[in-house]
Amino acid sequence: MKPSTLALLNRKLFLIFIGLALPACTTQANAGEFPVLTPTPISIPGHALPSSTLVPPTAIPTSIPPFPSPTALPTNLPTSTPLPCWSQAGTDLEGSLRADLLPLPLDYRIHLPPCYDQQPERLYPVLYLIHGKNYNNDQWDRLGASQISDTLTASGRASPFIIVMPRDRSWSSPIEDKFGQVVVNTLIPWVDSHYRTMPTRQFRAIGGLSRGAAWAVHLGFSHWQLFGAVAAHSLPVFWEDTREIRGWMDGIPPQMLPRIYMDTGDQDYLIRSTLWFEGVLTKKGIPHEWHLYTGYHNEEYWKAHVEEYLLWYAKDW
């Protein structure tokens, strides 16, 4: 056989082999799957405070479970085979923290959702609720916040979350009252280091009633990096803050603006302050949810809307 003939025959055999192999390779590539990537667990930074600054809470368990590094964000409540504990009440705790900025310890109440102890791997959003003037940190509980949050959890209308209710003992302005600084610099880090929280602004909200609403606006906008949602119920803006609020708003990147909720009664004697703040939001084009209901500046009005408030806070959780 001539060399040219042999080369031609080899070329034909090679093309036949390629023609047979290519479909198989193509089919194999189409039927194959991409490798499954396992995400690196997120490490939660600790915020432990020096032991000398803490007063052990009277109702906190003596043995705190180790603070785990999460491997995934918590899911919604189980719908097929829920744990029996979902129908039970959550756990209410009380304690206090010493802080150099305050003449007396900062008292607080904490409500842990049902199944907190039974699901030690689960992490929770945190809602900070501040009481009104002339009241203390049991006000939100008296209005039904803890009980209603348990009911919403049991029914599946809201994912479970932790509620923290600090006590403000002073009725002075934020310049004189260091309550806000202690909440930001002491209480929040302490809660994140002692409970299984999701310590990012997306899963942390703040709200308040009356003077507590003024604190929620003050902290939610001056420390916007900490809170993904801010709610003001029957808001009287701190007088000193009226000179600062526009600057705080302008300093927040548009994509980082918190969710904002406002409401008040149409007979509220402080309604002018609420309307002023809502007008600032509107003029600046800042999205917010605003409700003007029938009612006064009192606990009867707030109690009638607690469930609505809690559903709003937990909307994105």
Q: Which domains does the chain have, with CATH numbers?
A: 82-313 (3.40.50.1820)
Other beta carbons within 10 angstroms of residue 197's beta carbon come to 21
Name the residue with tokens 């940190």: 137
Question: What residues pair up with 93 in beta bridges, in sequence order?
Answer: 110
Are 195 and 112 in contact by the 8 Å Cβ rule? The answer is: yes
Query: What is the phi-psi region of residue 279: left when phi exceeds 0, alpha when psi lies from -120 to 50, beta otherwise?
Result: alpha
Average pLDDT over residues 114-119: 95
**pLDDT surpassing 90 at residue 50:** no
**pLDDT surpassing 70 at residue 251:** yes
**pLDDT surpassing 50 at residue 60:** no
More confident residue, 86 or 49: 86
- The pLDDT tens digits of the residues spanning 184-215 come to 999 999 999 999 999 999 999 999 999 999 99
Supply the pLDDT for residue 28.
35
- What whole-number distance in Å separates Cα of residue 253 and Cα of residue 259? 13
**pLDDT surpassing 50 at residue 20:** no
Percent of the chain whose predicted confidence (pLDDT) is above 90: 72
More confident residue, 285 or 66: 285
The structure's pTM equals 0.75
Q: What is the torsional sign of CA 48, 51, 54, 59?
A: positive
Q: State phi, psi for 97 to the nearest 5 degrees.
A: -125, 135
Which DSSP category does 251 fall into?
T
Mark out the alpha helices in 109-260 (DSSP H runs).
139-142, 145-155, 179-182, 188-194, 211-222, 245-250
Are 106 and 166 in contact by the 8 Å Cβ rule? The answer is: yes
Supply the pLDDT for residue 75.
42
Are 184 and 220 in contact by the 8 Å Cβ rule? The answer is: no
Cα 36 to Cα 33, 72, 258: the distances in Å are: 9, 16, 35
Mark out the alpha helices in 71-210 (DSSP H runs).
139-142, 145-155, 179-182, 188-194
User: How does residue 29 score in pLDDT terms, banded at 50, 70 and 90?
Assistant: very low
Supply the pLDDT for residue 31.
32
- The pLDDT tens digits of the residues spanning 279-303 come to 999 999 999 999 999 999 999 999 9
User: How does residue 63 score in pLDDT terms, banded at 50, 70 and 90?
Assistant: very low
User: How does residue 87 score in pLDDT terms, banded at 50, 70 and 90?
Assistant: confident
Which DSSP category does 42 fall into?
P
**pLDDT surpassing 70 at residue 85:** yes
**pLDDT surpassing 70 at residue 177:** yes
| Run of H or E including 260 | strand 259-265
- What whole-number distance in Å separates Cα of residue 307 and Cα of residue 97? 29
Supply the pLDDT for residue 272.
97
**pLDDT surpassing 50 at residue 40:** no
- The pLDDT tens digits of the residues spanning 131-172 come to 999 999 999 999 999 999 999 999 999 999 999 999 999 989
Question: Which of 6-20, 51-65, 188-202, 297-311 has the weakest average pLDDT?
Answer: 51-65
257-278 as b/e: b if 16+ CB within 10 A:
bbbbbbbbbeebebbebbbebb
Supply the pLDDT for residue 82.
64
